[in-house]
Amino acid sequence: MNQYQMRLEKLFDWMAQESITLAVFEDTEGRRDRTIRHLTGQPGDALLLLSLDRKTVLVPWDINMAKVYAHADMIIPYSEFERLPCKAIAVVAEMLGIPAGSKIEIPPVTPYPLFLNYVGKLTDFDILCRERGLSAEARKIRAVKDDEEIKIYRKAAAVTNALIGLLEKNVRSGKIKTEADAALLIEVEARRHGCEGTGFETLAAGPGRSFGIHAHPAWTDSPFAGPGLSILDFGVRLAGYTTDVTLTFVREASPRQEKIAGLVEKAAKLAFSMAGNGTAARSIALAVEELFARAKKRMPHALGHGIGLEEHEYPAINSRSDNEWKIEPGMVFTLEPGLYDPLHGGCRLENDILMTETGPELLTEARTIRL
């Protein structure tokens, strides 16, 4: 049994418990869901249908690409169905012998007009579209990485760490002078190391723009790593999985800027020290927020998040009252305390952590770099 089959078995078991006869995942423009890659290896742009009798049918836009990457019982080009999802579901349901009256679950992000179309055309079936249904269960499964995923993360982290070292070297030598220099170096070097590219748009904000959580635009030709605080937030995507780290470069810092950087470093150490098997994610976030509050500072974003095929996945690591996540072995997540001042700039320190049976393992080596 390969890793895709093992992941599918968990969902098939859940479908049986919920009496779902046919489940549909969709990864198309405007409705992206990388669960399809998680379950089949298909990079994107496809429908995936799972039947209660444990059959998988992939309906890709690019049949040539699917033949290279995808693992499924049947692979049928989307063009066979005029690239109409409703028609694809109807034909596949007939092919698989789905009985009338069966429950068919579609993605929760399905637009209401399209949902009505499903209901109007698939009249023999009970169409379900639920926020806490199949899609949510798939994301919970994705939150705990299996052995193959952890192998990928160790490799991706090694590439990320190599880039961190290169970035520091090139900033210190003066080769990186602008935000664009830093962002383009990451893009080129990630691909040289065998990655698919960056995991998301690199955020490079020099001293004049680091006051924002996410600078807009993400990077420009403005000076980088000059006097003050500069933020560099990036990740590399390897075999579909992205890392996510943030460095802060500190040069000739004022007392207030040094205080900001020092508090963020202290918060990062506190958060990592609290991360453990069974720890409530919310409790870590609350402790960091309390640390900042004692210094009359406030962090305007969550403390962290899971990472995987998307840069933001489960587990949630925030102080929201509805956050019930606990840290488990196999989870890969970020801790990223940050503070931002409209006059003095911002500082964020973000690393990727793997929870093992014996405790947290720091995968990446992001740091505050004092120049």
- The structural domains of the chain, with segments of one domain joined by +, span 3-142, 144-370
Please classify residue 99 by burial: count the beta carbons closer than 10 Å to its beta carbon, then call 0-12 exposed, 13-18 middle and 19+ buried.
exposed
CA distance 284 to 291: 11
pLDDT reported for residue 71: 96
Give me 354's structure tokens: 């793997």
Contact 218, 234 (CB under 8 A): no
pLDDT reported for residue 264: 98
Phi, psi of 333 (to 5 degrees): -150, 165
3-state secondary structure the chain: CCHHHHHHHHHHHHHHHHCCCEEEEEEECCECCCHHHHHHCCCCCEEEEEECCCCEEEEECCHHHHHHHCCCCEECCHHHHCCCHHHHHHHHHHHCCCCCCCEEECCCCCCHHHHHHHHHHCCCCEEECCCCCHHHHHHHHHHECCHHHHHHHHHHHHHHHHHHHHHHHHHHHCCCCEHHHHHHHHHHHHHHCCCCEECCCCEEECCCCCCCCCCCCCCCCCECCCCEEEEEEECEEECCEECCEEEEEEECCCHHHHHHHHHHHHHHHHHHHHCCCCCEHHHHHHHHHHHHHHCCCCCCCCCEEECCCCCCEEEEECCCCCCCCECCCCEEEEECCEEEECCCEEEECEEEEEEECCEEEECCCCCEEEC
Q: List Cβ neighbours of 227 (8 Å cut-off, separation of 6 or more).
A: 207, 251, 252
Contact 366, 247 (CB under 8 A): yes
Domain 144-370: which topology?
Answer: Creatine Amidinohydrolase (3.90.230)
CA distance 247 to 348: 7
pLDDT reported for residue 179: 98
Phi, psi of 207 (to 5 degrees): -55, -30
Chain mean pLDDT for the chain:
97
Cis peptide, bond prior to residue 360, ω within 30 of zero: no
Q: Low-confidence residues of the chain, pLDDT below 70?
A: none
CATH pick for 3-142 out of 3.30.70.1450, 3.10.129.10, 3.40.350.10, 3.10.20.340:
3.40.350.10
pLDDT reported for residue 316: 97
Closest Cα to residue 301, out of 243, 347, 364, 242? 347
CA 312 to chain CA centroid, Å, is 3
pLDDT reported for residue 143: 98
Phi-psi group of 252: left, alpha or beta (phi > 0 → left; psi -120 to 50 → alpha; rest → beta): left
